[in-house]
Each structure stands twice: as C-alpha cells, then as structure tokens.
Structure 1
Amino acid sequence: MTRSTPATPLARRRTVLGAALLASAALGVGLLSACSAGQITGTDTQVAAVPGVSVNSADGLIAVRDAAIVYADGYKAGSTVPLSVRIFNNAKQPVKITGVSVNKGGTVVLVGGPQAAATPAAASPTPSGSRRVSGAPSNIASANAAPTSASPSPTSAGSSEISIAIPVAGFVALSPDTKTYLAIEKLPDALQAGAAQPDVVFTFTYADGKTTTATLPELPMSPPLTPLPKPSAVVKNEGHGE
C-alpha cells in the first residue's frame, strides 16, 4: 500500500492563494457584466438645449416640430399668444392647410399674411427621446408676408383664413422671426412667464375639408432671448435698532 505524504505548509498556502485568485477573478467578471448591463451613456439622458415639442399628426401626413409659445413676461387673459413651430410634409403629394384650431380655447390665426411660404427639405426629422428634434433650417420667411413686430403683442392682427401650402418633402417655419406665424387669439386664461400648457391638441384642416390632429403632451414657453437679471441680495434685519 502506498503511503500518502501530508502536504507541507508551503503547499497549503499556495493552494489557498490560488483559490482566492480564482474567486476574485470570477467576482470581477460578474461585476463587469452587471455594470455593462445597467450602463447609462451620456446620450441616453441628453436633453436638447432648445425646448419645443415634436409630434406627428394622427394621419402621419404632417409633422409638427419644435412647437412652443414665444417667450413673454406673462400673457394676460384675452391676449394674443404667438407660437413658434415648423410643419413638415410627410405625404407623397403637396399638402395645403386651410385651418387650425386648438382645444385650449381661443382662435388660431395666421399673422403676417394670408399665406405662408414653404421651403423644400430632404426629409422630416423624426422624434427621438428628447422633446425637441433639430436638423432642418428654421429661418424661412414668406416673400409676401407683411412686416410685423417680432416681439409678442396682445393686439397683433391675424386672419383665421389660413393658407399654408407645403410641397412634397418640404416644410414651413412659422415664428415671429420669419414675420409669419400662428397665434392664439383671446387667450382664455392668464399665462405666467415660463409656464407651459399641458395636453394641447391642434386640429388641422386640409384643403379638401379633411382634418387631422396633433396631440402635444405640453406646449412649453421658449426661453428669453437674453438671460433674465439675477435677483439682488437680500439683507435681513438682525434686530438692530434704527
């Protein structure tokens, strides 16, 4: 019978050390796999710098991009609220919009002229995880638009007779900067500076009388063109006599 030789202390230490190294390596691989599975990159949480809501119409023929209320130091009830928006044509034929209404009350009018000029575009941007979708130029002015004030005005004259013709793969930019824009007249309730209107639904009427809707989770107010002044420091009275 072969006689077994007991392991020396040095051999036992080597065995224990090897087992510890194997366990450490396995733990490291497990942690690396868990981190990779739950990793969040910067683009996953990136939010566009300019606010605005982008949605497609219910029929998919038009796309509403970067819709927002033009900034002002609040709007009183009964005021005219100018909007900034781009409308893309996703249809295979030209689209003509002859009417716009909104569920939040008031009348939607076209300010700056009875017609809005469109410009060709390669394709309509598609909505992503952020509220705003960019990628197409926005400063397109109508050649026939009458000059109007670029700043929000409660008395801006607009017409409910709307004619917005958009060619195939084209878009129209409507904002006070382009001198032709949509506006909501007779705002039913006051709107504070920086406030957003939740659950806004626009209804668009086509030239053939058919309608479609664009549902916005909210209609935000764009930021001011210049930063607001910082509040002055407040010195509290520490109880000293005058």
Structure 2
Amino acid sequence: MKPLLQVQQLEMEYADGTKALRGISFDVHKGEFIAVIGPSGAGKSTLLRSINRLVTPTSGDIVYEGESLMTAKGTGLRKLRSNIGMIFQHYNVVDRLSVLENVLHGNLGRMSIMSGLFNRYSEAQKEMAIHLLKKVGLENEIRKRVDELSGGQRQRVGVCRALAQNPALILADEPIASLDPKSSAIVMESIYENCLEQGIACLVNLHQVDVAKKYATRIIAIQKGQILFDGKPEDLTDELIVRLYEGKEDELLAS
C-alpha cells in the first residue's frame, strides 16, 4: 500500500544551533493511529509543526500523497494543508466566536478567500459541524462563546474543527497535556473514535506512555531528535521506556 505520508531524513536546526530533528524518517499509512512519545525537548512538537509546514525544516522532505510539502508554495501549499487537520495543545480557538463558528473555520482551507471572508458556509457544512459537536457531547454549547467553556470543552471544539476539514490526516500536538484526567479521557476518545470511524490517519504527540499504549496502533519514540523505537505498542518494553526517559525520569513518573 502506498504511504499517505512520507517523512524522509528530516533535519531541523534552529538559529541558536539547537538540533531538534536529526534524520527522522518514517511512513504513515491510511487509518494508522500513531502515538509519538518522548521527553520534553525530544523534538515531538517540531516534528508535527514541520509536517504541516508551520516551521520549515533545515533539510529532508515531507511527501503527502506523492506531493512534496517542502517545495509547495502559495495555493499549492494551502491545498495540501487543507487535507491535514491540526489539533493544538493550547486549543488555538477564537474566544470571541461561538463554538459553531470555530468548528466551521475548519472549512476555510477548502473555500475561496471571499467566501471565507464573509463566512459563506453551506447548509451541509453547518449540518456537519453540528453533527460533530453532538458526537463529542457539546450539543448544548453550540451557540456559546468559546471563552465560556472549560479547557476540556475547548479542546473538543478544536477536535471538531480539525474533523470539519474532512482530512485524510490529523496531527495532534499534546492534545491532553493541559487537561485533567476526566477531560483527557473524553478528548482522546473523541479523537480516536472519529479517526477510526472515518479512516483518518493520526499522528498524536503524547507524554503519557500508558495513554499511547492504550490507543495507538503504532508508537514512535523520539529521543534527542532521533527515533529510538518505531513499532507495535506491545513491543515497547519497560527497559526501552526507561532508556527513552533517561535523565528525565520525573516526566515518566508524572505521566
């Protein structure tokens, strides 16, 4: 099966000399649910932000359905990005807008600039947004401003916005890091169940090893910008986990 996404020898060095990624390579296939784990500073967020070109890697290539994201520009890059949903740790929602309006923003990448500017959403787009919100238990919050919601509810709005894009791939960057255990469980279930139901591939950054093992079909472990492990959750041994978090055992205990 041809990969949906190919990450090829990705390198990222920041202006201060910090090497965040060191020759990262892996493929993602349709429907995979991949957890990326590793200690703080391992390069997890840089990896996801590079894939969506929120930052530009120093070298290497990112190929999505046969097209390079590294060389894409303008409308070409916008088109590729419209197929990749993004869920952020700090929600990245617009507080002054309603829950429904925030979710509808997931359609902007597939709309003309004028239609997006004047919020000309179709009835089908509105119906889908409401359907997604009902699925994550926010049917009673649809008309509320987002700044009236709890952190867990705001993150579920972010999940629905990403799903509203009708993407083939979702990138979730530490989506439960700022949430309490109950909200974390609801958000992870929302991401997992919707991706499974719609056949969406997902790359999710997680600190919590137990959560990664529970949901992932595959785990990629990163340490100091390099892949230490790439395989099935059941093959990730305790010894390897200890090695992964060597020097940062406090994070492992916190997870």
Q: What's the TM-score once normalised by structure 2's chain length? A: 0.23
**Higher Cα radius of gyration:** 1
Q: Which is richer in strand?
A: 1
Q: Which is richer in helix?
A: 2
Q: What's the TM-score once normalised by structure 1's chain length? A: 0.24
